[in-house]
Each structure stands twice: as C-alpha cells, then as structure tokens.
C-alpha cells in the first residue's frame, strides 16, 4: 500500500518593488565613486581653489596710483608742483625726465600718460586711446591740474566709495562657479562614465539583466545629486567664511534650483553619450556642447555684455538660466515664483534631453 506523501508548498520568491532596481543601481554607482579619488579634487577642490584665486585677484584694494611722466623743460616743475598740491595728488605719481626717456617708458607701459609743457602755461597730453588706463589718466591728470590752478566747479559734488558684500566680483563669481560646476559634473560625470562602461563592455552585461533602461539612466543621473549637495555647502560656505558673502535667499530655493540644474545637465550628459563609442568622441561632443555656455552664460562676467541681438539665444541656454536664477536667489533673495521662466528653460532642457537619450541609447 502506497502512502501518499504530503505535498510541499515552495514559497514564491519575494518580489522586488518597482524602484528596487533603481535603488540597487544608485547604491552601486555611489560605491563606484569611492574608487575614483580624483573626483574629490575636480568636484570639490577645484572650484574652491578657483574661487580663492579669482577672489584674491579681484579683491578690494586701495585705488591704483597713476604713473605720469612730465617732459623736462620750461613749465615742467610748475606742472609737478600743481599735481603734488592738487586734491588728487596722492593718486598720481609724477616724475620729470627728458623726452626720449618719457616716451620710451610710455611705449613700454611704465607710464600711462606723458605731459609736455608747451612753455605758455599750457600742457599737451600724449596718451593712447586704445589703452583704457591711458584715457582715464588723461582725464584724471587734467582735472588735477585744472583744480590746482584755481578752477572752480559750478556744481558742488561729493563721492563716497562703496564696496559692500553683494556688489563685489566674488559675490558675482560664486553663483557662476556653482552653476559651472553643476554643468561639468552632469556632463562629464555622467557622459564620460557611460562611454567608459560601453568601452569596457559593462553595458552589454547590464542589458542581459531584467533591468529597466529608465532605471539605469535615472540611477546614473541621481548619483550626481548626492555630490551636488556637498558642492553647494562647500562652495557657498567657503564664500561666506572666506569672503563674508551674504546669502539672502532661501536655502530650500537654492537647493531646488541646483537640483533642477543638475538633472538638466545630467540629461544633456546622457544624450551626448547615448551613442558615442569612444572616450575621445564623447570628449569632443561634450566640449562642443559646453563651450558656448562657458563663453556666453555669464560664469566669469555678465552675459549682458554681448550684443542685444544675441540675448534671446543666450537666455535660452540652460547654464544662463541656472546662473541667473542662482544669482537672483543668493544675492537678491528672489523667491522661487520669480524664477518661473528660468525654471521652465531648465525643465525643458532636462526633460527633452532625457527623453531623447532614453530613445536613442545604445548598449553596445
């Protein structure tokens, strides 16, 4: 008689949730970053060193002294005396010398202006209109001589030097460096990593797993957001501690703007590297994409310096939108609602780039 064996129920394996693959891919990418020590310097150290160097170079300093050569001859000593007793005498360094020496010093840039007495209680100025410092020296020296000679200004005026936090070059620079670093991190950190994995045949292994393509690309983009938080704290903290920079805007608004900017440039990085086969190819493509933004988007100087006909195109660049939004928030305390146009530009760049990258992405 055969005894029936009890049936054994094999429990079903646990099912992973919708975002389980994304979480594992994100953790794997973050662990990979630990093996890249050069990331620490280029992402965190380089922007701080750049801010330090430019902040020192363009720091507040005493007014420049104007070097002036006076050609020896009748009236030379009178001109020197007038300059020395004028109210501007402390900012003008004048010396009497023979004409060949004065002209040679002027050609070599040692002097900004040459004053030639004409022997009739008048003076001739020799200056270079192509040198801004020479043009300014002419105006300053003429004003000093006329005032010392007894000229009376019909309208009384006064001047007050003002250099407050928020109006200095370093205050303009820090938000621009932050935007530039977010662009570099998104483009190089994602695009370069993708092509490197494609070259090492790692993407072929990924494609053989039950992994969603969107999860992989999202995890690669999201890994940069962790570094972004450290970048913001480090760069803004350095500006506050080293240069007494004032942050007037909401920290939440700054973080949100930076997050949207990082995602936008992450999408651009994915799109740029979606089909590139070699590191040399993707390097050229990324430089082609980033170069116009380095030049036109107001990282180191205002984009308003470019002609008016280019301004609509410049405003459509994602780095321009990010830099303008960061400066308005950090330096002026602008709210998130006031940045709607700039946010729209960033969201369109990020959304369209990610959608196209998802469509065109090649695993091999």
- What is the reported pLDDT for 15? 58
Instruction: Name the strand (E) or helix (H) holding 102.
Output: helix 99-107
pLDDT in tens, 128-179: 888 888 888 888 888 888 877 777 767 665 555 555 556 678 888 888 888 8
* pLDDT at residue number 348: 93
Residue 166: what pLDDT? 61
Q: Which residues contact 299 (CB under 8 A, 6 or more apart)?
A: 176, 177, 179, 180, 319, 323
Q: How far is CA 186 from CA 190, 261, 291, in A?
A: 6, 9, 15
Confidence at 31, pLDDT banded by 50, 70, 90: low
Chosen CATH of 66-148 out of 3.10.20.740, 3.40.190.80, 3.40.1710.10, 3.30.1360.120: 3.40.1710.10
330 Cβ contact partners less than 8 Å away, ≥ 6 residues apart:
174, 175, 236, 247, 248, 249, 254
Question: Could you report the per-residue pLDDT of 301-341, keeping only the tens digit for each?
Answer: 888 888 889 889 999 999 999 999 999 998 888 888 888 89
In terms of Cα–Cα distance, which of 135, 140, 17 is closest to 86? Answer: 140
Query: Where along the chain do the CATH 3.40.1710.10 domains lie?
Result: 66-148
What confidence score (pLDDT) does residue 319 get?
93
CB atoms within 10 A of CB 196: 14
Task: Specify the pLDDT at position 316.
Answer: 93
The per-residue pLDDT for range 200-214, each reduced to its tens digit, is 877 777 777 767 777
Range from 30-34, 120-124, 232-236 that averages highest in pLDDT = 232-236
15 DSSP assignment = P
Confidence of residue 234 (pLDDT cuts 50, 70, 90): confident
pLDDT at site 321 = 93
What DSSP character marks residue 190? I
| Of residues 36 and 241, more confidently modeled | 241
């Amino acid at each position: 008689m055969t005894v029936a064996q009890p049936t054994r129920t094999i429990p079903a394996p646990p099912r992973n949730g919708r975002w389980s693959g994304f979480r594992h891919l994100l953790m794997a990418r973050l662990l990979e970053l630990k093996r890249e020590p050069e990331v620490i310097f280029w992402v965190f150290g380089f922007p701080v060193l750049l801010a330090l160097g430019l902040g020192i170079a363009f720091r507040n300093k005493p007014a420049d002294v104007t070097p002036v050569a006076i050609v020896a001859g009748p009236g030379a000593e009178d001109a020197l005396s007038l300059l020395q007793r004028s109210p501007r005498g402390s900012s003008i360094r004048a010396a009497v010398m023979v004409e060949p020496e004065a002209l040679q010093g002027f050609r070599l840039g040692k002097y900004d202006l040459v004053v030639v007495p004409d022997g009739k209680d008048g003076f001739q100025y020799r200056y270079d209109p192509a040198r801004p410092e020479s043009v300014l020296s002419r105006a300053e020296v003429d004003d000093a001589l006329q005032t010392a000679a007894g000229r009376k200004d019909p309208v009384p005026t006064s001047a007050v030097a003002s250099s407050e936090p928020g109006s200095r070059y370093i205050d303009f620079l820090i938000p621009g460096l932050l935007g530039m670093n977010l662009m570099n991190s998104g483009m190089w950190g994602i695009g370069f990593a993708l092509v490197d994995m494609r070259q090492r045949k790692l993407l072929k292994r990924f494609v053989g797993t039950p992994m969603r393509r969107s999860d992989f690309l999202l995890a690669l983009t999201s890994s940069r957001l962790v570094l972004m938080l450290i970048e913001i704290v480090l760069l803004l903290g350095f500006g506050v501690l080293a240069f007494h920079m004032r942050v007037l805007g909401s920290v939440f608004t700054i973080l949100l703007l930076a997050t949207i900017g990082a995602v936008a440039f992450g999408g651009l990085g994915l799109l740029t590297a979606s089909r590139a086969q070699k590191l040399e190819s993707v390097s050229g493509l990324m430089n082609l994409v980033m170069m116009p933004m380095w030049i036109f988007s107001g990282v180191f100087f205002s984009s308003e310096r470019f002609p008016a006909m280019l301004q609509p195109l410049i405003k459509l660049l994602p780095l321009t939108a990010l830099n303008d939004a960061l400066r308005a928030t950090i330096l002026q305390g602008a709210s998130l609602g006031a940045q709607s146009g700039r946010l729209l530009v960033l969201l369109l760049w990020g959304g369209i780039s990610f959608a196209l990258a998802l469509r065109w992405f090649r695993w091999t």
